[in-house]
Structure 1
């Protein structure tokens, strides 16, 4: 009979042995956060990509020979803050890869309403981020919490958060979803509260808990001290009285993780679209002809770059864009005009054109980089790696 200590040893997302044998990829389709910790890094995070681009990213990863067994939705925002993007991505992945395991990580606000649909899509395990079950402790940890799109005073907002987390864990367990609780241990703030969190989540039926030692970033000021091994051991001992713990915290990254030696081409660049036989070209919105410096909505013409006979990308032609004023059909017309393009580079774009064009096969990449270097990166060159990072924004 399987004992609690080994129950999750081979779990595809929670198991410690599976990290060496199970390939996992995280698709960054969540554009918005609904809370912020007081001690969060001030560094900019990557922008989310569209669901269609996420599926392309997954397909490229699989086609490159990486054995992906688990697809997770974890960021850069909260997957359930804008659930439409998350649900669309999960549906697309499920249709394309019927046997692939699906999971997500969420703060839990509003997630209970999607428990049944998540099960129907085959999401069998979810991580819920719970750093407090007491409003007083939560107020010390969060800078702000925004349920839905509402703004409310923090004391009221954290109560909503805690209530919704309770509803979410309860709803997930009612639907048979395996629930892992992730709790970050902040010395001087919630370290003495973790046992209470474990007890509360255990009562709700949560299956397992991961305790994450707080590690301050270099740009974090006036925050907690680093969580040391001795404190973590004490906290783990107390939490384990109420809920099974993961053997040790092993950070689940935002790119390709789970394999000891993932292939070189399985990293962040896999989020970038690549040329295909049917779509070999790139469209660019530019006023200067040198830099990507024009908002898509203001672009009367687009520069079209593509490979020459020798394979090197160069400017092929310019194309006029559809006239403004035709609503969403404008972007459908543009997609038709760019049927040979796999990507469109622009300094900015609205959500509607990004979504419509992505759905119709043209990835919209927002960047302020130099055209030549950015285009070169999309064709697999080594120039302008900083531009490459910029183009990951959707």
Structure 2
């Protein structure tokens, strides 16, 4: 796929090339001073995201590009990113894969991304030097802990440069996305010049648009036009397009992304203390309630199964997967990452909820069932 046929690069492709961003990145590397202080939305498990992709394609959506852009940074938890891209590549060999990242750690993952035939990668570069980066970022966390911002911004500059060079050496097409703030508007030409020396292919410039009643200022139209003219002297620019990036979604995850029953897995597993509400942490559940359709099609409580005894690490969750081998989903109030991953690998999606049991089960079977199950 060339830049002219990719919806994030070519204007003519935006209306004809279907694309979706799978939200499987659970962690982030940084936050700008201009971003709202909100907790990251929950990321999907790789298996769940691919199941959603399957459903969209089965429904007739002609998806040609799968990207990973959030809710965090795809390289902050590369295992989840790699697993998702590998699952998509194995199932859809002709699918175009791409991702958007700040670039930290990119040098370490370039070859693996190339092995998956990733077509494009976007690197978010908003500064040409650490002093400007300090004006833009609130914090940067390269690993598990924040480090002092002056030190972190220097590291960011080095990591981004190394990542861009490594991506190009691995044969990837590299796009640079730069947000224009009042703090960096005078430096846009320097950024364009720098990334071109690293062999970046194309650059996208997007002006920062503050929210209403925001204390932050926007750049003027004249500043934007001047910045574009100066940057274009050094690197090819994308046409202006405010909707480039993680906001592009073929379809927002709604009821279409809910797990669905199949012939081999028709039932729902529920962790509940009394059968009324979904109120148990999976690790505390001693029994699992099993709901499924009766002969008349109504979803009812079929039986209760004993959960494996606590302890045993991953083996406990493998045993639970075997116990629930006819279930397509498990409902619980909370669950750790290890059981969720093991259950997902065995075809059981974990859904976290504190809603009413029967109402949630009804939704999973399509809702609107006529009549109620008589116990």
Both structures adopt the same fold (TM-score exceeding 0.5):
yes
Residue matched to 1:333: 319
Give distance in 2, aligned partners of 1:336 and 1:380: 26
Partner of residue 243, structure 2: 251
CA RMSD of aligned residues (A): 2.1
Match of 1:235 in 2: 227
2:253 corresponds in structure 1 to 268
**1:376-391 residue pairs with structure 2 within 5 A?**
376-381=362-367
Higher relative contact order (CA 8 A, sep 6+): 1
Q: Which residue is equivalent to 1:109?
A: 104
> 2: CA distance between counterparts of 1:104 and 1:320?
42
Within 5 A, what are the aligned runs for 1:139-154? 139-154=134-149
Q: Give per-residue Cα distances to partners, 1:64-105, cap 9 Å, x unaligned.
A: 111111111111110000111111111111111111111111
Q: Secondary structure at the match of 1:318?
A: strand
Aligned partners of 1:233, 1:374: CA distance in 2, in Å? 52
**What CA deviation, in whole Å up to 9, does each residue of 1:172-196 have, x standing for no partner?**
111221100111112x211222221
State which of 161, 172, 175 in structure 1 corresponds to 2:170.
175
Q: Could you list the runs of 5+ residues in structure 2 that have no partner in the other structure?
A: 370-375
C-alpha distance in structure 2 between counterparts of 1:70 and 1:11, whole Å: 8
Q: Please tell me whether the aligned partners of residues 277 and 355 of structure 2 are also in contact (alpha carbons under 8 angstroms).
A: yes
- Cα distance in 2 for partners of 1:370, 1:194 equals 53
Matched, 1:67 2:62: yes
In structure 2, C-alpha distance between the alignment counterparts of 1:253 and 1:239, rounded to whole Å: 20
- Mapped to 2, the partners of 1:316 and 1:92 lie a distance apart of 33
Match of 1:195 in 2: 189
The separation in 2 between residues aligned to 1:303 and 1:334, in whole angstroms, is 13
Q: CA, structure 1 residues 93+295, in 2 after alignment: closer, same or farther (shift >3 Å)?
A: same
Question: Which residue does the alignment assign to 1:31?
Answer: 26
2:372 aligns with none
**Matched-pair contact (CA < 8 Å) for 2:362–2:368:** yes
Distance 2:300 2:179 in 1: 49
Task: Say if 1:381 and 1:46 are closer, same or farther in 2 by CA, change over 3 A.
Answer: farther
Query: Structure 1 residues 216 and 288 mapped into 2: Cα distance closer, same or farther (>3 Å)?
Result: farther
- Within the candidate set 210, 217, 224, 1:216 is matched to 210
1:22 aligns with 2:17: yes
Please say which of residues 285-294 and 107-116 is displaced more in the overlay: 285-294
SS at match of 1:279: coil
Q: What CA deviation, in whole Å up to 9, does each residue of 1:315-339 have, x standing for no partner?
A: 3222211101121111111111111
What is the distance in 2 between the residues matched to 1:253 and 1:182? 9
Single out whichever of 171-180 and 363-372 deviates more from structure 2.
363-372
Find the counterpart in structure 2 of residue 279 from structure 1.
265
Q: SS at the partner of 2:142?
A: coil
Q: Name the structure 1 match of 2:45.
A: 50
Aligned position for 1:294: 280
1:210 positional shift: 1.0
The 8 Å contact of residues 69 and 245 in structure 2, kept in 1 or not, is answered as no
Structure 2 counterpart SS, 1:21: coil
Distance 1:380 1:240, change over 3 A: farther
Between the two proteins, the alignment pairs up a number of residues equal to: 367
CA shift in 2, pair 1:278/1:24, >3 Å: same
TM-score (normalizing by structure 1): 0.88
Whole-Å separation in 1 of the counterparts to 2:279 and 2:92: 38
Displacement of 1:154 in angstroms is 0.8
Counterparts of 2:38 and 2:30, CA distance in 1? 16
User: SS at 1:373's partner residue?
Assistant: helix
Give me the whole-angstrom Cα distance separating, in 1, the residues matched to 2:229 and 2:28: 32
| Structure 1 residue matching 2:127: 3-state secondary structure | coil
What TM-score comes out, normalization by structure 2 length?
Answer: 0.92
Assess if the C-alpha contact under 8 Å between 1:23 and 1:257 holds in 2: no
Conservation of the 8 A alpha-carbon contact between 2:308 and 2:316: yes
> Measured at CA, do residues 311 and 216 of structure 1 come closer, stay the same or move farther in structure 2, by a change above 3 Å?
farther
Shift of 1:341: 1.0
Shift of 1:217: 3.7
The reply on whether 1:99 has 2:94 as its aligned counterpart is yes
Cα distance in 2 for residues equivalent to 1:346 and 1:215: 40
1:17 match: secondary structure: helix
C-alpha spacing 1:318/1:18, structure 2 compared with 1 (3 Å): same
Alignment match, 1:390: none
Partner of 1:347: 333
